[in-house]
């Protein structure tokens, strides 16, 4: 995990030997399961370290205080557990919810959480639109993560209903998306979000114009949102 350790140091993070060993287990399990199901197209050892693990940890650029113990984090469209599980390895005392609509992927994430010895992790096979209308999830999270999830207007409807007032959404994007950001203005207004300054990512191996879009929940989301599954993507606000 040398490439990951070097990149983490650029982020100001000093990964412990235990954490590096856990990332090694993560890689082995990902590579093994990926032979039987399509979890990721990135499989080469160093590429996984940088483009999956380190990329996940760049969230720290938007979290200057880190994630205190007990922080409630939800990863929407978690896929193979990215970025949620790398952040759980970095901040082991957070409470992490992983949400994914594909059952094979949630099976992998449950296996992975066990293999890594993680606690305070829940995996749900569900759509974000469904969870956003359930009392135990709605308005219940300090931080929502969205990596490779959707265009911003739909992404905002998937994530903001899940956040508490004062909570945040972090979305992994590439630069040159001024039009996409502008197209999310109505969704932000309707759903109670406020756009924070975009955070550039300039870390070795991730110099391809990556950015973090950060949204703060400043007003309650109206009860009508999120709409039924499929609607945010088909008819974005």
Q: pLDDT tens-digit profile of 41-72?
A: 999 999 999 999 999 999 999 999 999 999 99
pLDDT at 167: 98
State the Cα–Cα distance between residues 235 and 182, nearest whole angstrom.
16
Tell me the mean pLDDT in the region 148-173: 97
Nearest to 59, CA basis, from 116, 2, 144, 152: 144
At 128, the pLDDT band (50, 70, 90 cuts) reads very high
Q: How many residues does the chain have?
A: 237
Structure tokens at 64: 């200057």
**Distances in whole angstroms, Cα of residue 84 to Cα of each of 138, 200, 219, 229:** 19, 20, 25, 23
pLDDT at 122: 98
pLDDT at 185: 97
State the Cα–Cα distance between residues 82 and 184, nearest whole angstrom.
24
| 15-29: burial string, b at 16+ Cβ within 10 Å, e else | beeebeebbeebbeb
Residue with tokens 């599954």: 229
* Range in 35-39, 51-55, 138-142 with the lowest mean pLDDT: 35-39
pLDDT at 26: 98
Domains of the chain (ranges; CATH) run 58-234 (3.40.50.150)
pLDDT at 191: 98
Residue 187: Cβ-neighbour burial (10 angstroms; 0-12, 13-18, 19+): buried
Is the pTM above the cut of 0.85?
yes
At 17, the pLDDT band (50, 70, 90 cuts) reads very high
Chain mean pLDDT for the chain:
97
């Amino acid at each position: 995990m040398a490439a990951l350790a070097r990149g983490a140091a650029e982020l100001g993070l000093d990964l412990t030997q235990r954490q590096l060993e856990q990332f090694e287990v993560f890689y082995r399990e990902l590579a093994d399961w990926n032979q039987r199901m399509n979890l990721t197209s990135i499989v080469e050892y160093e590429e996984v370290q940088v483009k999956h693990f380190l990329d996940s940890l760049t969230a720290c650029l938007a979290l200057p205080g880190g994630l205190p113990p007990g922080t409630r984090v939800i990863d929407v469209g978690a896929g193979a557990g990215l970025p949620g599980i790398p952040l759980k390895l970095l901040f082991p005392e957070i409470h992490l919810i992983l949400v994914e609509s594909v059952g094979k992927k949630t099976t992998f994430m449950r296996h992975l959480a066990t293999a890594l010895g993680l606690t305070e992790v829940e995996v749900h096979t569900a759509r974000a639109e469904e969870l956003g209308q359930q009392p135990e999830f709605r308005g219940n999270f300090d931080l929502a993560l969205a990596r490779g999830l959707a265009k911003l207007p739909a992404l905002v409807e998937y994530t903001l209903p899940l956040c508490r007032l004062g909570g945040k959404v972090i979305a992994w994007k590439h630069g040159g998306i001024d039009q996409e950001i502008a197209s999310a203005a109505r969704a932000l207004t309707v759903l109670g979000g406020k756009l924070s300054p975009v955070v550039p990512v300039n870390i070795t191996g991730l110099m391809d114009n990556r950015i973090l879009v950060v949204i703060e929940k400043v007003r309650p989301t109206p009860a009508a949102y999120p709409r039924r599954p499929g609607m945010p993507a088909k008819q974005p606000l």
